């Protein structure tokens, strides 16, 4: 069975997200040529921003399955590294067929071309590897690395069913694949906080690396780096990209860090939700200046509805804060724990971002060198933090 022309048209229409502009004809053509349904399992889990997750089942309800496969939906194919059945509906999503618009957007930043040698990290279903193979043509080569043997095994079957020739490897993609370098392009489809230097080393000067960058504070970003003659890679934030984290860089789970710590309670005048509404520029500044990570949760308890912003030190889970917003309240409860006054640091970083003129996300970039990565504003010389978190104001040149 194949997709109806109407379904294929719907998928093509879903490729251009509103703000990202035109993804270009070669990518559209690749999506037409590579049947997405060959990469989706008979039972998949659809997880959307709003509403409860639901299953699509090709045998039980073929109409919904086909409509969803040829839509903008992310289809989760694995939960909890395979420890939980999809039919259980709950768990951490650990492999998926990514949203077609995100796939197209990242490919557009990558600009793969005929004859290119490409390294993909995070094979997943194999759909992106198949699109890449189509884009590089018969004279190019795609090498794709997947950490999960079961996922890789299914991807190999999917690619074979689609008649696609790609080199698949099971292993830690953080190491890249030295057998096959130098690559013209490195395409990463799992989220990373710290960019492995191996990707820079294995990509030729002038080559391009595109990756979903999850620094941890606030939202995540699409990053496009170009490899330089001096062995560094330099580039900018080019948009939004939310992906599942690379296994070795996943944050530790759990909201409530170890009990028994002394808690400092006070009230904060800043509405924590306001920070979320200021855009990715403030997230980038806070992340670069503090190295902290955050997440938000919504709920209700005996005092009514709340929105909580959690801030923590990824290298010391004993330092954290939670700020609680309640409707109608003029100030907001802060509980701060541990040696680092993390919420105070967030407020200071926010004030510095304001003092710089509230730079937009397009003004941030990153340099990856053998010794680590540095985040900068406007030009690589204006470094905000180097090789991880910068907590010393004297070394942050804002």
Ligand X SMILES: C[S@@+](CC[C@H](N)C(=O)[O-])C[C@H]1O[C@@H](n2cnc3c(N)ncnc32)[C@H](O)[C@@H]1O
Active site residues: 98
- The string over 103-120, giving b where at least 16 C-beta atoms fall within 10 Å of a residue's C-beta and e elsewhere, is bbbbbbbbbbeeebbbbb
Q: Restricting to residues 63-122, name those near ligand X by CB under 6 A.
A: 94-98, 121-122
Q: Which of 70, 127, 320, 364 binds ligand X (CB under 6 A)?
A: 127
Q: Which residues pair with 309 in a beta bridge?
A: 296, 323
C-beta of 103: minimal distance to ligand X in Å?
6
C-beta of 77: minimal distance to ligand X in Å?
8
Q: Counting contacts by CB under 6 A, is residue 147 touching ligand X?
A: yes
Q: Which of 101, 125, 312, 373 binds ligand X (CB under 6 A)?
A: 125
C-beta of 270: minimal distance to ligand X in Å?
34
The candidate with the shortest Cα–Cα distance to 270, out of 211, 212, 346, is: 346
For ligand X, the closer CB: 110 or 147 = 147
Q: Counting contacts by CB under 6 A, is residue 257 touching ligand X?
A: no
Tell me which H or E stretch contains 222.
Answer: strand 221-227
Tell me which H or E stretch contains 263.
Answer: strand 263-268
C-beta of 203: minimal distance to ligand X in Å?
17
C-beta of 254: minimal distance to ligand X in Å?
20
Size of the site for ligand X (CB under 6 A): 26
- The string over 265-295, giving b where at least 16 C-beta atoms fall within 10 Å of a residue's C-beta and e elsewhere, is eeebebbbeebbeeebbbbbbbbbbbbbbbe
Q: Which of 15, 227, 246, 284 binds ligand X (CB under 6 A)?
A: 246
- What x/- string results for residues 301 through 340 when contact with ligand X is judged by CB under 6 A? ----------------------------------------
Stretch that binds ligand X, among 169-177, 359-367, 375-383, 386-394 (CB under 6 A): 169-177
C-beta of 125: minimal distance to ligand X in Å?
4
- Separation of first and last alpha carbons in the chain: 57
Three-class SS of residue 367? strand
Q: Do strands 233-239 and 263-268 pair parallel, antiparallel, or not at all (unpaired)?
A: unpaired
- The answer to whether the beta carbons of residues 123 and 151 sit under 8 Å apart is yes
- Cα gap 386→158, rounded to integer Å: 41
- Cα gap 309→221, rounded to integer Å: 20
For ligand X, the closer CB: 234 or 246 = 246
- Cα gap 120→125, rounded to integer Å: 12
Q: Which of 35, 44, 100, 124 binds ligand X (CB under 6 A)?
A: 124
Q: Restricting to residues 190-209, name those near ligand X by CB under 6 A.
A: 190
Distances 113 to 107, 168, 187, 390 between C-alpha atoms, Å: 10, 20, 13, 38
Q: Which of 189, 268, 309, 374 binds ligand X (CB under 6 A)?
A: 189
Q: Counting contacts by CB under 6 A, is residue 174 touching ligand X?
A: yes
Tell me which H or E stretch contains 17.
Answer: none
Stretch that binds ligand X, among 9-17, 240-248, 341-349, 357-365 (CB under 6 A): 240-248
Give the CB-nearest residue to ligand X.
Answer: 124
Q: Which residues pair with 386 in a beta bridge?
A: 374
Interface positions with ligand X (CB under 6 A):
94-98, 121-122, 124-125, 127-128, 145-148, 151, 172-174, 189-190, 243-244, 246-248
């Amino acid at each position: 069975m194949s997709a109806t022309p109407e379904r294929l048209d719907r998928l093509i229409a879903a490729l251009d997200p509103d703000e990202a502009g035109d993804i270009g004809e070669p990518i559209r053509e690749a999506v037409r040529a590579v049947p997405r349904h060959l990469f989706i399992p008979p039972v998949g889990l659809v997880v959307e921003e709003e509403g409860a997750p639901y299953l699509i089942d090709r045998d039980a309800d073929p109409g919904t399955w086909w409509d969803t496969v040829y839509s903008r939906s992310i289809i989760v194919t694995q939960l909890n590294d395979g420890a939980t059945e999809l039919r259980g509906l709950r768990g951490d999503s650990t492999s998926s067929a990514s949203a077609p618009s995100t796939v197209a957007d990242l490919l557009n930043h990558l600009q793969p071309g005929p004859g290119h040698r490409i390294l993909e990290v995070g094979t997943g279903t194999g759909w992106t590897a198949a699109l890449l193979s189509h884009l590089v043509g018969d004279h190019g080569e795609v090498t794709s690395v997947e950490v999960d043997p079961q996922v890789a095994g299914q991807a190999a079957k999917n690619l074979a069913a689609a008649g696609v020739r790609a080199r698949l490897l099971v292993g830690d993609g953080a190491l890249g694949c030295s057998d096959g370098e130098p690559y013209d392009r490195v395409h990463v489809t799992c989220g990373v906080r710290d960019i492995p230097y191996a990707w820079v080393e294995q990509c030729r000067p002038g080559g391009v690396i595109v990756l979903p960058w999850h620094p941890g504070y606030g939202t995540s970003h699409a990053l496009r780096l170009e490899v330089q003659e001096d062995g560094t890679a330099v580039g900018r934030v080019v948009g939004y990209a939310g992906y599942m984290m690379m296994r070795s860089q996943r944050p530790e789970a759990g909201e409530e860090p170890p009990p028994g710590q002394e808690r400092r309670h006070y009230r904060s005048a800043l509405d924590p939700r306001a920070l979320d509404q200021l855009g990715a520029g403030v997230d980038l500044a806070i992340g670069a200046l503090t190295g902290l990570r955050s997440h938000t949760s919504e709920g209700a308890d005996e005092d009514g509805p709340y929105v909580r912003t959690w801030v923590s030190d990824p290298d010391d889970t004993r330092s954290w804060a939670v700020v609680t917003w309640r409707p109608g309240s003029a100030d907001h409860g802060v509980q701060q724990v541990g040696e680092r006054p993390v919420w105070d640091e967030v407020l200071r970083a926010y004030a510095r971002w304001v003092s710089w003129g509230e730079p937009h996300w397009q003004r941030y970039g990153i340099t990856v060198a053998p010794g680590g990565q540095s985040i900068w504003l406007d030009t690589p010389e204006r470094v905000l933090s180097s090789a991880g978190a910068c907590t010393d104001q004297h070394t942050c040149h804002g």
